[in-house]
Amino acid sequence: MEFHHVGIPTDQKRENESLVEGGKVWVTDADACPFHIEWLRFEPDSPMPDQLKTIPHVAYKVDDLAAAMEGQDVLIEPFEAMPGLKVAFILHDGAPIEFMQAC
């Protein structure tokens, strides 16, 4: 498991946002930020859970998404966030944690 970014919910539009259509959420590229911050701006009708809309999350790269999620409190089942990247979210002590796997 390797740290990738911190995701912070915002209501402010940011430069170079990309839309994750299924989640109706605009995200910035954490790799473009020297501090590895990903800003998330949710559409009013976003189906994403409130925990993700209101609480910052930490994201980790994993080799095996299923293994990383085993025995965890699943917040969002795995989905393809963009071509070549599957993600899933768990809750750990009430905090959202993202797992990312290249596919």
According to CATH, the superfamily of the domain at 2-102 is: 2,3-Dihydroxybiphenyl 1,2-Dioxygenase, domain 1 (3.10.180.10)
pTM (two decimals): 0.92
Q: Taking residues 31-58, report their average pLDDT.
A: 97
Q: Is the pLDDT of residue 47 over 90?
A: yes
In degrees, rounded to 5, the angle at the alpha carbon of residue 78 between the alpha carbons of residues 72 and 82 is: 140
pLDDT in tens, 68-79: 999 999 999 999
Q: How many residues does the chain have?
A: 103
- How confident is residue 22, by pLDDT bands cut at 50, 70 and 90? confident
What are phi and psi for residue 46, nearest 5 degrees?
Answer: -60, 135
Beta-strand (E) ranges in 43-84?
57-61, 73-82
CA dist list (Å): 20 to 17, 57, 64: 10, 17, 22
Q: Cα separation of 78 and 100, whole Å?
A: 9
